[in-house]
Amino acid sequence: MDARNEAADQPHLPAPVARRVIRCAHRAGNEVHLLQHALSANVDWIEVDIWYAHGRLHARHERALWRLPILYDRWRVRLRPRLLPLAELLRIVGRRAGIFIDLKGLHPRLPAAIVRVVREADAIERVAVCGQNWELLDEVGRLEPRIPLYYSFGNAQHTALYRARDALGSRATGVSVARWLLDEKTVARFHADGLRVIAWTVNDVDEAARLTGWGVDGITSDRLDLLDSLP
């Protein structure tokens, strides 16, 4: 049995019962009000952006200005809401949904901190980790092989690395791919390699239908109504 087949046998986020497409609520773990809406909608996975800062793990999408209560993302600036620690998120969600952790930033302590918190919460079987920094993702897999890894593709360079087989780890369970990088042939290739395919961020109903027609395994969306309409 090769390493990729071994990865397929590892525990992973629960597949939806009697559903073909996994519903993943984009950024829903970042703020409490978004989280409650997503849980009320009975999504399968809660996506959360996790940063390591000042010795703690916090959920937020935007970058922070040191310890100031300010978050920014390109041209958007806002006052920082109360940041939700990963441990608290795991406690609130419990077993109502899986947690899809998106690694943010480049802090070398991020992988070990995530593994520690997930172990302390006894949540190994309830989480998966994705990220565009594949080295940090590999470190998560080295520290805790039971956590499923989803290599995130956000640009053509990631696709080239995958095709060259230079960077994709052998423990990969799947890939989380920007919608504009996918077509039917690409989805089929990932599946041929034994990988699940999660498409992000899909907010158009027609595009969601096209992607599910190509056979993607999951859709990440900001729209809970779109997720609810998936087959």
The per-residue pLDDT for range 120-152, each reduced to its tens digit, is 999 999 999 999 999 999 999 999 999 999 999
Residue 78 clears pLDDT 50, i.e. is over it: no
Residue 148 vs residues 38, 51, 124, 151, 211: alpha-carbon distances, Å? 22, 19, 9, 10, 23
pLDDT-derived band at 167, boundaries 50, 70, 90: low
Domain ranges of the chain: 3-228
pLDDT at 115 > cutoff 80: yes
Identify each DSSP E strand in the chain by its residue range: 22-25, 45-53, 56-59, 63-64, 70-73, 76-79, 84-85, 98-103, 127-131, 149-153, 172-178, 196-200, 218-221
pLDDT over 80 (residue 192): yes
Beta strands 218-221; 196-200: pairing state? parallel
Backbone angles phi, psi at 197, to 5 degrees: -125, 120
Q: How far out from the chain centre does Cα 65 lie? A: 24
Structure tokens at 106: 């480049």
Note whether 84 and 93 are within 8 A (CB).
no
Tell me: domain 3-228, CATH 3.40.50.1370, correct? no
- pTM (2 d.p.): 0.83
pLDDT at position 95 is 95
How big is the CA angle at 205 (ends 203 and 207), to the nearest 5 degrees?
80
2-11, 32-41, 129-138, range with the lowest pLDDT: 2-11
Q: In this structure, which amino acid lies at residue 162?
A: Y
Query: Which of 110, 115, 127 has its CA nearest to residue 46?
Result: 127
pLDDT at 4 over 60: no
